[in-house]
């Protein structure tokens, strides 16, 4: 049968329209499936892989004892003991991966900014350096926190509040300070001076296990609050 030209043309147009509809339907389907698949895998990654990396830095170590407390004990041992307690709590948190700059009495040179490099190489999300304060006047007391970059300020403020509440020591506030661990870390970082090891009352408390547990819990709360966990 001979089909007239206009009819053939209309059939051709219909055919083309049908093809276009089919292609667009397939594409929509493909895109939807694609989106579902990718959002599904993102969720999975968050649960299984995308953890927040938190670096805990016990101040001093090895040949660098830090402050010497009233009792003759060293700051480096206090910072390690408290840091281990913080790390222990963080290890229980499924959304956090915790790393320590040292896990024993190791000396870490300040040359080459090794502590900060450690955190930068890990691409860490947060950095917390733990210290005990020292001063010539044994009456001086209190909790003080330091930050350096603007991007660390709100983290330092929140963390300081939690720690001050936990120590119950005088609130000496937060200060901007050019410490290398704060300056060279590329993520929000804070240096916590929990209290004065040169103050007899504060040292006594700071060396107690249950007191350190309380401080460790407050540091954990500060991290959780900042990360919105």
Which residues make up the interface to Zn ion (CB under 5 A)? Answer: 59, 66, 131
Minimum distance from residue 46 beta carbon to Zn ion (Å): 36
User: In angstroms, what is the minimal distance from the CB of 95 to Zn ion?
Assistant: 30
Name the DSSP class of 124: -
Compare residues 130 and 187 and give the one whose CB is closer to Zn ion. Answer: 130
Give buried/exposed letters for 46-69 (b at 16+ CB in 10 A, else e): eeeeebbbbbbbbbbbeeeebbeb
Q: Please spell the DSSP secondary structure of 130-162, one letter per residue.
A: EEEE--SSTT---EEEEE-SHHHHHHHHHHHHH
The minimum distance between CB 93 and Zn ion, in angstroms, equals 26
DSSP-derived letter for residue 95 is T
Q: What interhelical angle do 75-91 and 209-227 show, nearest 10? A: 50
Q: Which is nearer to Zn ion, 66 or 195 (CB)?
A: 66
Whichever of 61 and 66 has its CB closer to Zn ion, that residue is 66
Separation in Å, CA 159 to CA 129, 180, 193, 222, 223: 12, 19, 12, 5, 7
How many helices (H) and strands (E) in the chain? 7, 6
* Minimal distance, residue 38 CB to Zn ion, in Å: 46
Distances (CA, A) of 213 to 58, 153, 220: 15, 25, 10
Q: Which is nearer to Zn ion, 52 or 146 (CB)?
A: 146
Min dist. Cβ of residue 75 to Zn ion (A): 5
Shortest separation between residue 59's beta carbon and Zn ion, angstroms: 4
Nearer to Zn ion, 69 or 222 (CB): 69
| Whole-Å CA distances, 71 to 75, 136, 194, 197, 204 | 11, 15, 17, 9, 8
> Which residue in the shown chain puts its C-beta closest to Zn ion?
131
For Zn ion, the closer CB: 59 or 195: 59
Task: Say if residues 212 and 85 touch (Cβ distance below 8 Å).
Answer: yes
């Amino acid at each position: 049968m001979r089909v007239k030209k206009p009819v053939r043309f209309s059939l051709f147009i219909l055919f083309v329209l049908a093809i276009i509809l089919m292609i667009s339907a397939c594409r929509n389907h493909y895109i939807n499936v694609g989106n579902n698949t990718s959002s599904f895998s993102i969720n999975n990654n968050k649960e299984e892989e995308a953890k927040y990396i938190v670096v805990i830095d016990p101040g001093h170590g090895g040949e660098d004892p830090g402050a010497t407390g009233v009792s003759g004990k060293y700051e480096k041992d206090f910072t390690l003991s408290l840091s281990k307690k913080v790390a222990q709590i963080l290890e229980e948190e499924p959304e956090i991966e915790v790393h320590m700059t040292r896990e024993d009495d190791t000396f870490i040179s300040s040359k080459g900014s090794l502590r900060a490099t450690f955190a930068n190489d890990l691409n860490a999300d947060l950095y917390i350096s733990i210290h005990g304060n020292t001063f010539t006047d044994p009456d001086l007391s209190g909790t003080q926190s330091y930050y350096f970059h603007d991007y660390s300020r709100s983290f330092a403020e929140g963390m300081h509040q939690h720690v001050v509440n936990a120590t119950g020591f005088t609130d000496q506030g937060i200060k901007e300070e050019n410490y290398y661990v704060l300056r060279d870390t590329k993520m929000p970082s804070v240096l916590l001076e929990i209290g004065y090891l040169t103050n007899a009352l504060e040292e006594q408390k700071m060396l107690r296990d249950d007191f350190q547990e309380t401080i460790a819990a407050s540091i954990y709360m500060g991290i959780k609050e900042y990360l919105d966990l």
